[in-house]
Amino acid sequence: MDEKACWIPPVYTYKGSVPFPISPPFSAAMTGSSVSSRKVLSKIATNRLQKELTEWQINPPSGFTHKVTDNLQRWVIEVYGAQGTIYANEKYQLQVDFPENYPMEAPQVIFLHPAPLHPHIYSNGHICLDILYDSWSPAMTVGSICISILSMLSSSPAKERPEDNDRYVKNCRNGRSPKETRWWFHDDKV
């Protein structure tokens, strides 16, 4: 694969009059190297993610910070609880793993430990949110996923685990993906 075809120049900010890169450029060779069990991203996925990352760096969604790494296929995003909610002043981390055919297929999104206490977030970090599974659309972005998750957190009146948390987590041993779960979306109140 021609790396130049998938290369995007870094985004710069200025410190005084000196340009300063705020992210490393990514090439196709960098997208799969850190995760040996994953397939390399397609050119479409690589281009889309580079575009989303550039847009994120210029105008990040409020309440989120992308932790820069050299792996375009796995993002770690810090989530800050919205003021005026039960999660205010709390910080969590999302791990977003992109499939080789993103955006045609949804990314896998989980909370890293410790996951917030929420009726739709399991203690292993799996999130019961329809847009991550059945309602995914290629028009969605990482930013729109993050805003949906923050909205879900912000609307919760109580910090509690899902009723079936223990059973679900026990059945998800050995690193099973939440995308392998047959979710039942029945509660849209929180």
CA distance 152 to 118: 9
Q: Which of 6, 128, 146, 172 is catalytic?
A: 128
| Three-class SS state of 177 | coil
Q: 162's torsion region: left (phi>0), alpha (psi -120 to 50) or beta?
A: beta
Q: Distance of CA 158 to CAs 32, 40, 67, 100, 120, Å?
A: 39, 41, 29, 37, 11
E-strand spans in 4-157?
Answer: 12-15, 18-21, 64-67, 74-80, 91-97, 108-111
Helix axes 142-154, 43-58, angle to 10 degrees: 60
Q: Is 128 a catalytic residue?
A: yes
Cis-peptide, bond into residue 178, ω within 30° of zero: no
CA distance 120 to 98: 22
Please identify every residue annotated as catalytic.
128
